[in-house]
Structure 1
Amino acid sequence: MKVFILTGAGISAESGLGTFRDKEGLWARFDPMKLATPEAFERDPEKVLAFYNMRRQNLLAASPNAAHRALARLEAGLKERGGSLFLCTQNIDDLHERAGSQEVTHMHGELLKVRCIACEAVTSWQDDVDVDTPCPSCRRTGVLRPHVVWFGEMPLFMEAIYDALLEADLFVAIGTSGSVYPAAGFVAEARAAGIRTCEINLEPSDNARLFDEGRFGPASVTVPEWVERLLA
């Protein structure tokens, strides 16, 4: 069996990382147009870098939860049975990797990396960044930005993602709002290809009606239960 899983902010919420689009989410407290666009970075790089410094330190203090660990078990279990898991995440955290997942596709980039807008080098990074921080590759200053996809930018690895989606036997969305495209359109692509679909979420998403099956409740409970059932 080939399983394609899309994860969103809901899978990391129980690890203490905020979601984005609910009434208490990150974008309810901060204006994304002032913090998460190329224009915002060009206009006020210090403010944008400070925001991502805060998020980076928050991530470093967090730990994977039972849902992350369950998906790592699923990856190993499917491999043992001759199957595969394509784990695609909208999240910029590294909790899947810390939980033991071996292959994770980050379509929105990674918070623990920085990218140079001058030489385009991508570097693993856990410290704070400011406009005086030199690029480790070209040594220029004022050129480092978070290696994340901002509003108005194209998600990463889209060709590989669509190829894996259309080869899957099962598409599962976990902890997603169903409102952020192109990821919100994956379920429709799967249905059009005759692929079975399942949503696992705290509550039904914006596109819940498109899924063949829905399982609702905290990710740390619903995801391990679903994984054990699938592997059984």
Structure 2
Amino acid sequence: MMVVPLTTVLVLAIDTATPAVTAGVVQLDADAAPRTLAQRVTIDAKAHGELLIPHLREALAEAGRTMADVDAIVCGSGPGPFTGLRVGMVTAAALGQALGRPVYPVPTVDAIAVEARSGHRLLVATDARRREVYWAAYDADGGRVEGPHVDKPADLAEKLPSLDVASAAGQGAEMYADVLDLPIALAPFPSPHGLVAVAAAALLAGAEPDPMTPLYLRRPDAVVPTGRKRVTQP
């Protein structure tokens, strides 16, 4: 089946891979950069499940659109902590199925890199908890050349000479600025604009989305017990 390139796409953008609960409505035109019509962002690592759907509804209302107007959904795929990341990806997948719209997963770190891009090599680091960071490195054109990985900040700092980055972005970079010792770009969290920019070529081409695979990079903190604990009688 021949795929007809699109000239305008109305996109619902979602990300819950960081403490930011991010939702937005973005118009993507073939001859222009993505334009954010409305967005809602709340920094609360414990409120992804509570706030995401209200944020989506509020953003759509402000943009003067409805769910039926949406052509596609873009969702940050991490890396991120298990619980928060899962909220956004499950919500995006459910909306895509209900609306009959394609859902495009994009790495959250790539969306942050778009916002921080300044023509030089860049490190993006987000908070992975457990005193660790998720990170990826980008070339001067914004292409990802390393990662995403998860490391302790001190271990990442030892890798910086070989990465040859000039600055860093992301909440993790801000939290451990004293360890990484890099100039900080003001892009701590992904934006709807950045998320859609990463997927722009695929969206306009009407391409088949990649599988909805979350980038956890490690096992969740909570684990299912493998068996009953033996109790010794006194």
TM-score in terms of structure 2 length: 0.30
- Is the strand fraction higher in 1 or 2? 2
From the CA coordinates, give the structure whose radius of gyration is larger.
Answer: 2
- Is the helix fraction higher in 1 or 2? 1
